[in-house]
Structure 1
């Protein structure tokens, strides 16, 4: 079950000049839909990426990091198999798929960035991928964003995409993004993958800086279950095909571009939380008046990771003591309890070190019955404010993950 706004549908995706996408079905884990995606960039395109910090990061992560320095032209993504926990064979398999795509597309193997998502610890079916690659290359098209978003899905219940058009110096610039992820979600860059493309002109180091800043405030502010995947990655490609001038560091043009990248990242990140495995509620945890951004994020994630908090929200139970306990164990030094205030939407539940005098169970229940809820924690320690997005834990979360390999 996804926590979607009424009437949600996959957005109209504008074409990004110079970027083409092709999909095919390799039958890695299922045969009902495509599970291979190829994205092609023009020569001289810029490409930036951030990756998981999980020590057991997957073979394709190692290969993609190495190939990122070699002027990449293609991204190769497969769903259904993570190629993680596969040792030396996994590395050989990831490199083999790069070589197979290079042969099919007419380039060098080191120009391919591989990405995989799915079950950990199983050998990558290289033969199936090789067989499917010619079809994916053959149907490369600038219009295939919808197909691409569906091809990278695993336990996702809906495809996730964002498309934005804005202007720089009077010229149109487009940025598109797709992402996948529903479980094993606590990106730390960084099972999420995100791929964005723009036609802007911008050099790779500045593009990398822009992506890293956007990821920190978006994908690194979401959690479904507190598990950092072995395969997390987020990529931003810039084809340079727009008529807009090249974006330079410190310019107004960079500010406009960076804001657009941030907006796309935040919308994609929120879509992942809305599709959290078994989720019935979306919760925004806002921590205000913290001593630092790090402190605010720590408090927010302590609440967001608490199974007791998450199950209370699933039950629509205004058990505010669980939130209070999470704030108390978040590692805030010398916290003045009398300054702490906690709200469910506009309803104050904690004030002056205990339950707010004007709080009523009925008021708390009205908020908890909603599909989307904001928990606000005011610490009274400083000016920092950060937001963390999460979802509840339901029976279906356990069922989905208990049956993941069957």
Structure 2
């Protein structure tokens, strides 16, 4: 169960909301035989919203998807992995449009109703003969069950070790509404808008402006609060589609069940964001940083992300070293108001700093705690009511190994 506002569906996936099907297959973009082409298809025109990377260098699929979303509706999202189709010039744009038109023709829908997403190596042209052949074969793989969702989830992965999925149900005006999501991301993770690639589906009846508002607000508290390596991708995109087949009263912020729907939406996004942080390239531990007592929430967010993004903090966690000095140094350089005399820090259940003064603590107990799968860092500033939570991972030898040989 959730917090009584929503119900968590174990094993749920993006096809669980009414009206959605998915498929995935291997078309030959990856050197291995892992799936590298997938699609999410809605039976009806879905209300759709999206947020995109703030990186000024943006991949061709983002241009195409923005164009498709001008009317706030989508029927399908076609995705490839193994190649980002970024920094590929006019040819890259033409290839992204070809992906869109090929998928539209194959599934008998309007090209304007198809979004395109790509992820993988930057600066290489897509092998379009393989992509278009793969698209021809997608309809035969389309399924409205867990196998279709699994095939799609596998098709969007690059250096990810595990798929990322989450699903909940919410009661809206007596009708059951389902919200689900799938995402990929492991490296080049420091979003300023969304996850690396994320896809949300729901069968809710919802206004377009309400969905866009909810997507942006939720993104700021979830996907924008994770970091693996401080790098913002050229391809980041989060797309939400609402089929409206739950037949509920139209959702908007004025609806009495809006908060319950928003809570369920937030839960799905947060689970996906945390899964990305946990699966950071080479990561062995998830780190959660909670900041309380900042002057405002924005300050708390900036401080939490500075801590979680610190290579020194990440390295200390990898080494199971309770080096609180690295944490308070990150607090002080975040560029937000801090009273250097009133900072408390705890690593898990162990206080290490109170009122900016060291606390004698059991180093052996700290070592045992830091060797666990998840490390919590709590920071209290005592200057206001602002709070925020951020997620990241430790910095391991494997991160360097993976990225030193990414293209090979």
- What TM-score, normalized to structure 1? 0.94
* Distance (whole Å) between structure 2 residues aligned to residue 352 and residue 73 of structure 1: 55
Residue 370 of structure 1 corresponds to 372
* Distance (whole Å) between structure 2 residues aligned to residue 249 and residue 390 of structure 1: 31
Residue 11 of structure 2 corresponds to 11
Residue 75 of structure 2 corresponds to 73
Gaps of 5+ in 2: 1-9
Residue 3 of structure 2 corresponds to none
**Of 168, 171, 177, which aligns to 1:164?**
168
**Of 326, 336, 340, which aligns to 2:339?**
336
Seen in structure 2, the aligned counterparts of structure 1 residues 249 and 300 have a Cα distance that, compared at 3 Å, is closer
**Of 183, 188, 191, which aligns to 2:192?**
188
For each residue in 1:336-364, what CA deviation from the matched residue of structure 2 results, as whole angstroms up to 9, or x when unmatched? Answer: 222111111121111233312x3343343
Counterparts in 2 of 1:2-401, with a 5 A limit?
11-13=11-13, 15-70=16-71, 71-143=73-145, 144-190=148-194, 192-333=196-337, 335-356=338-359, 358-401=360-403
For each residue in 1:78-129, what CA deviation from the matched residue of structure 2 results, as whole angstroms up to 9, or x when unmatched? Answer: 0000001112221111111111112211222222110000000101122211
Which has the larger displacement, 113-122 or 295-304? 295-304
Which has the larger displacement, 279-288 or 346-355? 346-355
* Distance (whole Å) between structure 2 residues aligned to residue 332 and residue 48 of structure 1: 32
- What TM-score, normalized to structure 2? 0.93
Which has the larger displacement, 115-124 or 157-166? 157-166
Residue 3 of structure 1 corresponds to none
Which has the larger displacement, 50-59 or 66-75? 66-75
Please give the secondary structure, in 1, of the residue aligned with 2:257.
helix
Tell me how large the CA RMSD over aligned residues is: 1.6
Seen in structure 2, the aligned counterparts of structure 1 residues 330 and 249 have a Cα distance that, compared at 3 Å, is closer
Which has the larger displacement, 248-257 or 341-350? 248-257
How many equivalent residue pairs?
Answer: 395
* Distance (whole Å) between structure 2 residues aligned to residue 31 and residue 325 of structure 1: 43
* Distance (whole Å) between structure 2 residues aligned to residue 26 and residue 130 of structure 1: 9
Say whether the 8 Å CA contact 1:16–1:142 is kept in structure 2.
no
Residue 402 of structure 1 corresponds to 404
* Distance (whole Å) between structure 2 residues aligned to residue 113 and residue 317 of structure 1: 45
- Which structure 1 residue ranges, 4+ long, deviate > 6 Å from structure 2? none
* Distance (whole Å) between structure 1 residues aligned to residue 51 and residue 231 of structure 2: 17
**What's the offset of the Cα at 1:313?**
0.7
Say whether the 8 Å CA contact 2:38–2:80 is kept in structure 1.
yes
Please give the secondary structure, in 2, of the residue aligned with 1:201.
coil
* Distance (whole Å) between structure 1 residues aligned to residue 252 and residue 327 of structure 2: 45
